[in-house]
Amino acid sequence: MSIETVQRVLLVEDERTIRDAVAAYLEREGFWVTAVADGQAALDAAARKPFDLVVLDLNLPKVSGEEVCRVIRDTSDVPIIMLTAKGAEEERVRGFEMGADDYLVKPFSPRELVARVRALLRRAHADSDPQRARIEHEGLVIDLPSHKVNLDGRELDLTASEYKLLVTLSRYPGRVYPRMELVEKVLGYDFEGYERAVDSHVKNLRAKLDDDPREPRFIHTVTGVGYRFETRRGTGEATGS
């Protein structure tokens, strides 16, 4: 991956062993890291200078990770990866509601974290590219101007909702979409009862993509949260054309 300028990461983690290990790993990968140990220090650091990405533990002293996320989101769309405890699904959902982009469950490997950081930075970059007219992932080609979807050279016949769902998920591979967010993005309304509608659309879309939920090629279920698009090669990469 080519990085024209050094990317700056704000790392917020109160557990020293994790903080030191993650900071060392990110630095070795060429990132410029500011590491802080509590929520107030994170807000102070974020107010002093802009960062390209934030790695944010949710359970923090002084100011909670959720509050840090909310305050940063008020003024910035910097990508945010949350670090959450195992099994803390409610925490995770609240984090997404506060505007986080992705999450990792502890314990995680630093390698996985770096892969997520890179994927998020790529997304942030791709998102600002107005020339982007195609989304391509391992045999799946979505032509945005014509709304045509091809899988392994065969054109798929998708409904408008299935198309929107596929574009939403595949535009940002690796990002987890809570059901409620998909309801809003795909169906355009926000009543809790409609979460089941998203599940039905996903089911139909999977059938058309010939995608087995137990061994997904594209669409993964994130238990208790929602869905994520990810190809077998990893987090994948959307290409411009």
Pick 16 or 233: Cβ nearer Ca ion: 16
Backbone angles phi, psi at 52, to 5 degrees: -85, -20
Per-residue contact string for residues 44-73; x = within reach of Ca ion by CB under 5 A: -------------x-x--------------
Q: Residue 202 CB, nearest distance to Ca ion (Å)?
A: 33
Query: Beta strands of 8-101 (E only): which ranges?
Result: 8-12, 32-36, 53-57, 80-84
The reply on whether position 105 binds Ca ion by CB under 5 A is no
Quote the least distance from Cβ 241 to Ca ion, whole Å: 42
User: Which range of residues in 14-22, 158-166, 201-209, 225-233 is near Ca ion by CB under 5 A?
Assistant: 14-22
HSE at residue 221, side-chain half, CA atoms within 13 A, is: 13
Query: At how many degrees (to 10) do helices 160-171 and 195-209 cross?
Result: 90
**Extended strands (E) in the chain:** 8-12, 32-36, 53-57, 80-84, 102-105, 134-137, 140-143, 148-151, 154-155, 176-178, 219-222, 226-229
Q: Which is nearer to Ca ion, 14 or 199 (CB)?
A: 14
**CB-nearer residue toward Ca ion: 57 or 181:** 57
Q: What is the smallest separation between the CB atom of 25 and Ca ion, expressed in angstroms?
A: 18
Q: Which is nearer to Ca ion, 17 or 75 (CB)?
A: 17
Distance, CA of 88 to CA of 102 (rounded, Å): 14
Minimum distance from residue 89 beta carbon to Ca ion (Å): 17
User: Using CB under 5 A as the criterion, which residues of the chain lie in contact with Ca ion when the complex forms?
Assistant: 14, 57, 59
